[in-house]
Amino acid sequence: ASDIEKDLAQIHFTEDQIQEKLRELAGRIEQDYEGKDLLLVGVLRGAVMVMADLARSFSRHVEMDWMAVSSYGSGTKSSGVVRIQKDLDTDITNRHVLIVEDIIDTGLTLTWLVSNLQSRKPASVEICTAFRKPDAAKMAVPVKYVGLELPDEFVVGYGLDYAEKYRNLRCVATLAPHVYS
Ligand code: PRP
Ligand code: MN
Ligand code: MG
């Protein structure tokens, strides 16, 4: 096994499973947005892989733009208090916006982001996420396009990081205990 593969305990989803699910989501999105322009908004940095693969699964034109947001406050991961680190370069007034995320955990960041984007008077705002954890069910905002459901475990790969590493894995996996020690 390669260096990075030695760090993995259990693979939750393989590259093939992820790609198949993204093609299925892309098909639904293509149908739903037929005849409409579409702006995909990726949330840096985790959504880079999903955006690249989802966008290339379309046979139609799409535009892509990016936002970087960070939640801060008590030091916990998502406080719901969010700061924009990089805003869109695109004016989304009257545009159909689809937010592209790698994973929804608590959903706090995305709840804030949807209301922020709504205030800019787009034609529509929907969410597409490759993965979702159980807590996301408590989210106030409905998620229109959900890929694969994950258990409430810490996972890495396909954009998901542990201390900025493992994002470049093609699968999604849990880490072996030796990684944390
Ligand atoms: C991760 C992930 C989602 C968010 C989900 O991003 O990529 O964007 O957390 O968590 P939530 O549903 O509880 O808000 P992170 O803040 O780690 O930044 P990153 O994308 O740069 O890794
Ligand atoms: Mn993220
Ligand atoms: Mg992260």
101 ligand 1 Cβ < 6 A:
yes
Ligand 1 pocket: which of 45, 81, 116 to mutate (most atoms <8 Å of CB)?
45
What pLDDT score was predicted for residue 73? 57
φ, ψ dihedrals at 94, nearest 5°: 65, 15
Residue 107 CA: nearest ligand 1 atom is 12
Predicted local distance difference test score (pLDDT) of residue 77: 59
pLDDT tens digit sequence for 130-151 = 999 999 988 888 999 999 999 9
Among 48, 50, 86, 104, which is best to mutate for testing ligand 1, by the most ligand atoms less than 8 A from CB?
104
Task: List the one residue out of 146, 76, 86, 143 whose CA is nearest residue 114.
Answer: 143
pTM for this one? 0.95
Q: Does any ligand 1 atom lie closer than 6 A to the CB of residue 105?
A: yes
Determine the pLDDT at residue 177: 95
pLDDT of 181 reads 87
Distance of CA 167 from the midpoint of ligand 1 (Å) = 12
Q: Please provide the size of the chain in residues.
A: 181
Residues 6+ apart with CB under 8 A from 99: 41, 43, 110, 113, 114, 117, 125, 126, 127, 128
Give the per-residue pLDDT at 74: 54
pLDDT for position 106: 92
pLDDT means per 10 residues, the chain with 181 residues, are 92 98 98 98 98 98 96 61 94 98 94 97 98 92 96 97 97 96 87
Q: What is the pLDDT of residue 81?
A: 80
* pLDDT at res. 40: 98
List of domains in the chain: 16-152 (3.40.50.2020)
Name 3's Cβ contacts closer than 8 Å, sequence gap at least 6.
Answer: none
The rounded Å distance from CA 159 to ligand 1 centre is 10
Active site (catalytic) residues: 105
> Which of 96, 110, 95, 93 is CA-nearest to residue 146?
110
| Element housing 138 (H / E) | none
